[in-house]
Structure formats: C-alpha cells, structure tokens
C-alpha cells in the first residue's frame, strides 16, 4: 500500500519502511510523528483520492535523524552602486522512516510523542543572548568588509611622492638640447626632469647610464647612443 502525503508544503509518495527527508519536524530521534494530511492512498491500480484530504487516513513515521540540507548561496550585486549582498541558507531537515499507513480512523500501534512544552521566558532570553553573541562577530566582519569596499583606494606612496631624478643636474646655464637631431621640446623636458641639461652630460653617458635611461624613460638605447655622439661634437664647439 502507498499513500501521498503533504508536509512542509511538499507532497511525497510513501510506503511502509520508506526513508524520507522532509521539512523539519519538532521531535527527538526515535519519536513517532503523525502526518494526517493524506491526499491519496491505494494499492496497485486502486487509488482513493481525498477532497483535498482522505478522511480517517493517517501516516505515522519514526524520526531517524535531525539535520540540515546543503548550503544554498544567494548573491546579489548592483552594478556601479557599490552594493553586494551574499546570503547563505541551510534548510533544516528531518529524516523519517514511514511506520504505518492507517485508514478508516485506525489507531497507530505506537503513540506519537507529545509536543514539547513552551520554554520559560528565562530560557528564551538565554537562547536569544547566545544567538546574538554568535551573530556579533559575523556582523562586525560584514561591516568591516563593506567599509573596506566603500573606502576609496589610496594611491601607493611611490606614486604620490615624485620619484628622484636619475642624474644630478650640474650648476650653471643649461644647453639647448633641441639642437641635437631627434630631441624635441618634449624629449628635452623629459631629460631635464631626470637631471640631463647639458651637452657634456650627454657626451659622458656610460653604457650603464644608457641602460638606466632605457629602463626608466621612453627612449631606446640606440636613440640615447646617437644623441651621445652628437653631444660629443657639440660639447667640443662650446
């Protein structure tokens, strides 16, 4: 014989000794629970349907385990609003073994466990306090993460402070580096910012200096070497 029962907003087709996970039922392991919302019952092709429930029908089940379902993650994000929300949920479940399917008002062989009495106000207060204490670290962590996301990112110290020039500029009047072929006003300004302002400086650049400029400035080693040769001729004319 089978029956179709309704519990926790869901319908299940059950038979004796079936193991079933349903929405949590307030009972201890080993207790017998009664499910009176029987939608249909039958055996083979003979099925009786209720309207909506079958009168006098009852299904009893033994509580095997109290547990939880797998965690379901709900994540919501609003673009360009700096808003993110992540919530996890684990549904409480009760595992039961179907004991009997009773019809016509028959009484179960095992009596169902009585419902637990309401807890005293002091006990409720203790439970609420414990729940609040457990939730406090999570709330603090969530606020800290939200504050970190909302706070503007600070620029690295290396970007805020102006980098020191690669070379030390000599005293005296600077030369017009734009005389050198390939050095325009922009390139001359870039070289001046790095401390290169005279023909003599360019002429005395070593291979190590060329490599340093090539690494830190938008000029290639071949360009710098060409400027160095031109600077040598101009330095002689001064």
Which of 68, 94, 67, 107 is closest to 7 using CA atoms? 94
Mean pLDDT, rounded, for 87-99 = 93
Query: Which tokens hold the place of 59?
Result: 């299904």
- CA pair distance 238, 230, nearest whole angstrom: 13
SS3 15: strand
CB proximity list for 115: less than 8 A, separation 6 or greater: 26
Top pLDDT among 124 and 24 is at 24
SS3 140: helix
Q: What is the pLDDT of residue 99?
A: 92
Q: What is the pLDDT of residue 150?
A: 59
110: pLDDT confidence band, cut at 50, 70 and 90? Answer: confident
**94 CB neighbour count, 10 Å cutoff:** 22
- CA pair distance 201, 228, nearest whole angstrom: 9
Top pLDDT among 92 and 141 is at 92
Largest CA distance in the chain: 122
The CATH code for residues 163-237 is 1.10.150
pLDDT > 70 in the chain, percent: 78
**Mean per-residue pLDDT over the chain, rounded:** 83
pLDDT surpassing 60 at residue 52: yes
Mean pLDDT, rounded, for 87-110 = 91
Cβ atoms of 95 and 21 within 8 Å: the answer is yes
Q: What is the pLDDT of residues 116-168, one digit of tens each?
A: 544 445 555 565 666 666 666 666 666 666 665 655 555 444 444 456 888 88
Domain borders along the chain are 2-114, 163-237
Cβ atoms of 61 and 96 within 8 Å: the answer is yes
Q: What is the pLDDT of residues 175-222, one digit of tens each?
A: 898 989 889 888 888 888 888 988 888 888 999 888 888 888 888 888
5: pLDDT confidence band, cut at 50, 70 and 90? Answer: very high
- CA pair distance 211, 217, nearest whole angstrom: 10
Top-ranked range on mean pLDDT: pick from 6-15, 77-86, 148-157, 190-199? 6-15
Preceding omega of 99 cis (within 30 degrees of 0)? no
Q: What is the pLDDT of residue 148?
A: 59
**In a 10 Å sphere around its CB, with 0-12 CB exposed, 13-18 middle and 19+ buried, how is residue 161 labelled?**
exposed
Long-range contacts of 66-69 (CB under 8 A, 24+ apart): 66/24, 66/29, 66/92, 66/93, 66/94, 66/95, 67/92, 67/93, 67/94, 67/95, 68/92, 68/93, 69/21, 69/93
């Amino acid at each position: 014989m089978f029956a179709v029962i309704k519990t926790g907003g869901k319908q299940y087709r059950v038979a004796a000794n079936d193991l079933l996970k349903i929405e949590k039922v307030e009972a201890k392991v080993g207790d017998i629970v009664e499910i009176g919302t029987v939608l249909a019952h039958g055996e083979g092709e003979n099925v009786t349907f209720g309207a909506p429930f079958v009168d006098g029908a009852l299904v009893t089940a033994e509580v095997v385990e109290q547990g939880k379902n797998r965690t379901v993650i709900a994540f919501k994000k609003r673009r360009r609003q700096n808003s993110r929300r992540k919530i996890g949920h684990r549904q409480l479940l009760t595992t039961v073994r179907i004991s009997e399917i009773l019809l016509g008002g028959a009484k179960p062989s095992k009596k169902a466990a009585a419902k637990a009495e309401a807890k005293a106000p002091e006990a409720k207060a203790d439970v609420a306090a414990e729940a609040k204490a457990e939730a406090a670290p999570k709330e603090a962590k969530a606020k800290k993460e939200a504050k970190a996301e909302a706070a503007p990112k600070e620029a690295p110290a290396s970007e805020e402070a102006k980098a020191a020039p690669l070379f030390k500029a000599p005293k005296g009047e600077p030369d017009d580096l734009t005389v050198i072929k390939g050095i325009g006003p922009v390139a001359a300004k870039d070289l001046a910012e790095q401390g290169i302002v005279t023909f003599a400086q360019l002429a005395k650049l070593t291979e190590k200096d060329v490599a340093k400029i090539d690494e830190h400035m938008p000029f290639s080693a071949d360009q710098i070497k060409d400027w160095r040769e031109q600077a040598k001729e101009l330095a002689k004319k001064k």
